[in-house]
Structure 1
């Protein structure tokens, strides 16, 4: 299988970290790529602060006087020097691309190496892929299981609590009191994100928003649960049942039914606002609504959930932005803490929830900006 750019970047970082400093031509030869490709990789990693460039050489941050790849290393050791971390994610694109990026940056900042496996949302393969990470040398793992619903968590979850190395659960919650609930975890507080969206729309005087949402992932289910909790918190009644959303390219008939249900809610006066999970669905829904005579934001104020591509819509969409990159970063830092603990008693396990932000754009009809948690 062709090596991805992320995997190549990981190898490049490992070469520079182990050798201290190197020339681009050396790196190209060691990586088996052209000097142009190696130069682009170096520029990308240096722009993120993961490498230093000076006098035609590439150095690990803080190591400007080290020998080349052929020699030994020099400089003070970092806490993670020599450590290998594993990351299992259900996807390397869309939502989880930023989670992976945050984890990679945090690992590199400590001197650790991060290796990646992707499950493609096949939870039955999570265990074997994680065992593959251990076989590749991972001394601790970050795991975002490929669950789609609670049944997957029940069927493919308990093995995580039996791993022989420290593990941190990413963007996934466990059943209270289950073995998995005793693991460290770092998650986005999607309930808080939905509450931010509802409060913003209510403040615009658009009435109680409808929810249009998928039901095929833990994030989608958390958004649905957060909507119910937000309505209870605000002492509101939904203007109608949650509208089930499906991808337009996978289920055209189901997508059309969702759009027409939302259109009917708007034209009947039941709803003047909506929260839509996710961005891609929201963009397609806005386009199809316009064809049916419903305009955003004139007739419907709309907030998307995820903020991956919401800003790129014809009418830039206001969106809830989960702190994906920070989830990856904090989880990696927590795993590093577990791996480098010394002395006596182990520190308490932690469940860390990070708050999303609301990025206001044109789809609500108000002024733009970022609304903090």
Structure 2
């Protein structure tokens, strides 16, 4: 283990138990007792723990307030993971688009704290989602990270409110929900992401900026940010907008939207999702439009935008940080310090803009 990993693991065990034996920790980690004592001395000098004979205690709590026995990984951990400090379940709608980076961030943070992640996939099926949550709870996870399959997943939120372990929603908000608003969440500020896109296009001189999007749980926040930024920036109200039904006739809907953009004089569009933005850019080029001379495009998600025929400028949610913060928040709820209680946290992270070749001043 590297120095930073050892320090994270030592502090994690102190948060869970309140105390740590240097000899026990050295044996479990397969390192020398001298190394552990040196780590404890350094952390003590930094004021992050209090050294005692044979080990250390947390500076946040008394040892008696921690979880009395370290939870083992359930189901049985993989070889080499027998000393797992805790296990979190993570339910996501799709293991192949958008969420892999979030999951990777959560896994990275959990492992640095001595834990592991067990994945469940709902495939945007609310009933399957609840089944996965119940399966993970029955398996004895110590906390849950959940991205609901739909925005207002009231049945799922009711289930999570009754969960006997800490729960953190990921990329979902319950701030104004009548159900589950006591749950914690960490999400991208998608409305801010839309505003970032429009500010970039307005700075280039575009006055008619449209928006086209698939109907997803992210879309309402993007629409809110788009409308707010359009008003604040004084952009024209007659730019073309559309909600694309991805279940049928996407090509025909795209053709009609392109015709509407040309007819209305729309010179730039903000698009969700990334996949659709790439398809749309191809359709626009085939339609005879030049990108970015005739039409500038900003995609949202930044999963594959850079691979388009004309690489697309894109707004990138902070996906890895979302996963890291979610795992950290859940860990803090199972730690000894959390037994004393603190208010539920609703956290939003700001996206960033990746500039590429699809945006330029209008001709």
What is the match of residue 361 of structure 1? Answer: 356
CA deviation map 1:108-137 (0-9, x unaligned) = 111111111000001122222111112222
The CA deviation at 1:171 is 0.6
Matched, 1:199 2:199: yes
Contact 1:210–1:271 (Cα < 8 Å) also in 2: yes
Contact 2:171 2:186 in 1 (8 A): yes
- Change over 3 Å in CA distance of 1:363–1:344 after alignment to 2: closer
Secondary structure at the counterpart of residue 358 of structure 1 = strand
Structure-2 separation of matches of 1:303 and 1:160? 36
Match of 1:263 in 2: 259
1:362 aligns to what SS in structure 2? coil
> 2:105 aligns to what?
102
SS in 2 for 1:186: strand
Question: Aligned to 2:218, what secondary structure does the other structure show?
Answer: helix
Q: Secondary structure at the match of 2:117?
A: strand
Alignment of 1:129 with 2:152, yes or no, is no
**What SS class does the counterpart of residue 353 from structure 1 fall into?**
strand
Cα separation, partners in 2 of 1:72 and 1:192, compared to 1, 3 Å: closer
Q: Please, what TM-score do these two structures have when normalized by structure 1?
A: 0.73
**Is contact 1:169-1:183 (8 Å) kept?**
yes
Aligned-partner SS, 1:182 = coil
Q: Residues 15-30 of structure 1: matches in 2 within 5 Å?
A: none
Name 2:167's counterpart in structure 1: 167
Aligned counterpart in structure 1 of residue 293 of structure 2, from 279, 294, 298: 298
Aligned to 2:22: none
Flag structure 1 segments of 5+ consecutive residues without an equivalent.
1-19, 21-45, 52-59, 62-70, 367-373
CA distance, structure 1, for counterparts of residue 137 and residue 237 of structure 2: 47
Question: Which has the bigger relative contact order, CA under 8 A and spacing at least 6?
Answer: 2
Unaligned 5+ segments in structure 2 are 11-26, 41-57, 59-69, 71-83
CA spacing shift, 1:89–1:309, aligned 2, 3 Å: same
Partner residue in 2 for 1:154:
154
Cα deviation code 1:48-92 (max 9, x no counterpart): x989xxxxxxxx99xxxxxxxxx9544559999521111111111
What does residue 37 of structure 1 align with? none
Structure 1 residues 210-225: aligned runs within 5 Å? 210-215=210-215, 217-225=216-224
Query: What is the alpha-carbon distance in structure 2 between the residues aligned to residue 332 and residue 293 of structure 1?
Result: 47
Q: CA deviation at 1:175?
A: 5.6
Provide Cα deviations, 1:226-253, integer angstroms capped at 9, x if missing partner.
Answer: 2122223334443245212244xx52x3
Q: 1:288 corresponds to which residue?
A: 283
- Alignment RMSD: 3.0
Larger radius of gyration: 2
The match for 1:320 is: 315
Shift of 1:365: 2.9
TM-score, normalized by length of structure 2?
0.75
Shift of 1:204: 0.7
